Structure 1
Amino acid sequence: MKIAFFSDSYRPYTSGVVISLETFKKELTALGHNIHLFVPSYPNYRDKEENIFRFKAFPAPTNPDFTIALPLSRRAKSVIRSFQPDIIHVHSPFMLGKLGASYARQLNVPLVFTFHTLYEEYVHYVPLAPKIAKNTTRYFCRNFCNKCDLIIVPTTEIGNYLKGLGVTIPVKKVPTGLNMEEFTQIKTNGSWLRKSYDLGAEEKVLLFVGRLGQEKNLPFLLHAYKEVQEEFPLTSLVLVGGGPEEKNLKYLAKQLGIASKLVFTGALPKEKVIECYYAADLFVFASVTETQGLVLPEAKAAGLPIIALSAYGVKEMVVDGEDGFLITPRLNREKETIAEFAAKIKLVLGQDELRNILCKQAKINAAQYSIRNCALSLEEGYKLAQEIKIKKMSGT
């Protein structure tokens, strides 16, 4: 098949959406499909891969690392018509997603949309009243979804969320998979992280990987770590990733008296991120806005147990009591939730036998997210979208 991907973000920007695009493009190409990307441009960045059309774009006011594409290009229209896609797969309901949907109507081809993000949880980046912004976002997402032929969701929980919004078209679950060879064939004991940041062999490492944004709920993590550090002083918290909240988090760490025990690595290349997974003793995750949380199966692939808040897609990524522990957030009782979260971390750090059992099962459970299996499932989704389109055209 010839498949056109439209996305409002791509390299050099780093996010779960970008990783998903890269991962599926590579695997679908290996399966014999032809993928063409339509994405924003970024200053001073040149592509090394082929079949990419870049739209002119400008830096987002609230996040300069992210660029906003201008979906106006005569050449883009010529490129998409010349490509003659069998499927148009959009990865955002906004700028370039809307353009992709328009092209799908013009070319009369199936429109597939992956619901990567709980957009209503990101309205803090929009200069509007939060309640109005959330309601507007829900309305917009529902309408966009119902104009597609098929919606792809990474977890069943997100499929249920969309149905609750009033989405009526077919939904198919296809998580973003992992290249398991990146984890099974790597030869490392995690020494790079410990040497680079002067972490002793006896130091226990709690690891977070992700963007340092408000939606990741990182102040919660710092407060929980403070409680852990009081009982386990030979413990460090390593935050891998960059983002707009880094300065605020460093300030909070000073206020809590834990700044000397925190490590901010900034954004790292994939091979160094994997090194960090293998150096850590436990993966900690407090986000309550994830549709999947790609870092969770990655952590499990490296044999890391996970302590996480139970919300949306995370519920399906962690098997409570088997490869980690899930803590249910207590509404308006955050201190109690923090205490419970910290208690689970201390439980695992204090019991080597328990941690070893969790580690072993984490690796076993990660295998279900093989990228080949996920790509084959997405391929089935494309065939389903074609069948749905044919039925719509025939009026059946």
Structure 2
Amino acid sequence: MKVAVFSDSYHPYVSGVVRSIDLFREELSKRGVEFIFFIPAYGNIKKEKGFYRFFSVPAPTNKEFHLALPFSFKVSKTLREEKVDLIHVHSPFLLGRLGQKTGRKLNIPVVFTYHTLYEEYVHYFPFARTTARAVTSWYTLQFANKCSAVICPTETIRDYLCQKGLKTRSAVIPTGIDLEPFSQADSSWLKTTLGLKGKKVCLFVGRVAPEKNVDFLLESFQIVASKLKDVVLVIVGGGPELPHYQKKAEELGLGNSVKFIGPLPPEKVPIYYAGADLFLFPSVTETQGLVFAEAKAAGLPAVGVRAFGSKSMVFDGVDGFLTGLNPREYAEKVILLLRDEALRKLFSQNARKNAQNFSKEYTARLMYDLYQSLLVNPDR
């Protein structure tokens, strides 16, 4: 089986979408699936066989992310020559749209992974955000209904899309992770290296940006730090808004209580999970929240906000807590878990157990089965 991947995000840019693509590619390759990629070009990246890069420009609101110009007269020819059986698109825009249109033209099944609640990113629009939200929501649904199948990371997201009018075939397939690096990492490294011995460490991992609700995180943590001594928030991740949040932490009097680590390569992230005591992730824009699975694998209880992605990833009162969008309520749950050692230990044990549902081997098998079924019956 040969699959063509069309994605607006790929290396050297790093994101949850990129990590998802890499993990499925790694596992499905073991099952004999071959991949070719249609992705944005970044600078002078060396050409690789099977990777077709499109001229791209930096996004106005994020210079690290490049927008591909999805124009080529060779795509259809390339897909025929490569004898592609199936197209997997990871965005409803630009290259994703090109992949969908080409698949329909060549009568090749098209799978779309609904990675993101796209309408929740309209804060990047300079104006008419209400209109932009409505148009984006309508457009993504229309795009999804023109695909052979839509992959939803959680049952909650599938229910949401069905309520909006999703008619095409759908499947719930979370992005899996390699559990071992998170469960086997050195738990003493973080506090020793950062000089945090004797302190309770809360961890955030993700893009440091408005859509991850970082303002809310800092405001909540200010309450936590005012109630507890020797507690530190470690923030792993980068983004164009990083200086803004560093300044905000200072303004909130958290200069000594928040450590911004910046972006890290994926292989270095597990050691941060392993050394923390609690995982904080109040984003309300996730379709899954892969970081919750990583936290579970490391045995970290999590505190999230009741939203689409987190509701399917955090079992409230079992391996973490979910709260409303209220900084004080959020802080109270954080304080409870930091103070109650026995409860935190119980949640930690439950988190490790529940992490098994997100092993990369299990989720890749679900994806492979979907691919196979579409080749047998693409119109079901």
In structure 1, the residue matched to 2:345 is 356
Cα distance change on mapping 1:123 and 1:187 into 2, 3 Å:
closer
In structure 2, the residue matched to 1:332 is none
What do you get for the CA RMSD once the two structures are aligned?
1.5
Q: After superposition, give the CA deviation of every residue in 1:287-336 in whole Å (9 maximum; x if it has no partner).
A: 0111000000101100000011010011010111111111133xxxxxxx
- Tell whether the 8 Å contact from 1:119 to 1:137 is kept in structure 2 after alignment: yes
> Superposition pairs for residues 66-215 of structure 1, below 5 Å?
66-184=65-183, 186-191=184-189, 193-199=190-196, 201-215=197-211
1:381 aligns with 2:370: yes
1:236 aligns with 2:232: yes
Displacement of 1:205: 0.5
Q: After superposition, give the CA deviation of every residue in 1:84-105 in whole Å (9 maximum; x if it has no partner).
A: 2111110001000111012212
Cα distance change on mapping 1:253 and 1:214 into 2, 3 Å:
same
Cα distance change on mapping 1:166 and 1:390 into 2, 3 Å:
closer
- Tell whether the 8 Å contact from 2:85 to 2:108 is kept in structure 1 after alignment: yes
AA aligned to 1:181 is: E
Cα distance change on mapping 1:109 and 1:367 into 2, 3 Å:
same
AA aligned to 2:263 is: A
In structure 2, the residue matched to 1:342 is 331
The runs of 5 or more residues in structure 1 that have no matched partner are 330-336, 392-396
Quote the Cα distance in structure 2 between the aligned partners of 1:77 and 1:242. Answer: 37
- Tell whether the 8 Å contact from 2:182 to 2:274 is kept in structure 1 after alignment: no
Quote the Cα distance in structure 2 between the aligned partners of 1:390 and 1:171. Answer: 12
| 1:109 counterpart SS class | coil
> Superposition pairs for residues 1-40 of structure 1, below 5 Å?
1-40=1-40
Quote the Cα distance in structure 1 between the aligned partners of 2:175 and 2:56. Answer: 27
AA aligned to 2:34 is: N
Quote the Cα distance in structure 1 between the aligned partners of 2:100 and 2:324. Answer: 38
| 1:65 counterpart SS class | strand
Cα distance change on mapping 1:280 and 1:44 into 2, 3 Å:
farther
Quote the Cα distance in structure 2 between the aligned partners of 1:81 and 1:54. Answer: 18
Quote the Cα distance in structure 2 between the aligned partners of 1:179 and 1:261. Answer: 31
- Tell whether the 8 Å contact from 1:149 to 1:388 is kept in structure 2 after alignment: no
Displacement of 1:142: 1.4
Q: After superposition, give the CA deviation of every residue in 1:144-173 in whole Å (9 maximum; x if it has no partner).
A: 111111100000111111112211111110
Q: After superposition, give the CA deviation of every residue in 1:43-93 in whole Å (9 maximum; x if it has no partner).
A: 24346x652211111100111000000112234443222112111110001
Quote the Cα distance in structure 2 between the aligned partners of 1:239 and 1:9. Answer: 23
In structure 2, the residue matched to 1:297 is 293
AA aligned to 1:227 is: I
Quote the Cα distance in structure 2 between the aligned partners of 1:46 and 1:367. Answer: 37
Displacement of 1:178: 0.9
> Superposition pairs for residues 265-344 of structure 1, below 5 Å?
265-329=261-325, 337-344=326-333
Quote the Cα distance in structure 1 between the aligned partners of 2:51 and 2:188. Answer: 35
Quote the Cα distance in structure 2 between the aligned partners of 1:101 and 1:317. Answer: 30
Displacement of 1:387: 4.3
Quote the Cα distance in structure 1 between the aligned partners of 2:320 and 2:44. Answer: 42
- Tell whether the 8 Å contact from 2:59 to 2:66 is kept in structure 1 after alignment: yes
AA aligned to 2:220 is: A
Quote the Cα distance in structure 1 between the aligned partners of 2:68 and 2:321. Answer: 40
Task: Give TM-score, length-normalised by structure 2.
Answer: 0.96
Quote the Cα distance in structure 1 between the aligned partners of 2:261 and 2:37. Answer: 30
The runs of 5 or more residues in structure 2 that have no matched partner are none
- Tell whether the 8 Å contact from 1:53 to 1:76 is kept in structure 2 after alignment: no
| 1:317 counterpart SS class | coil
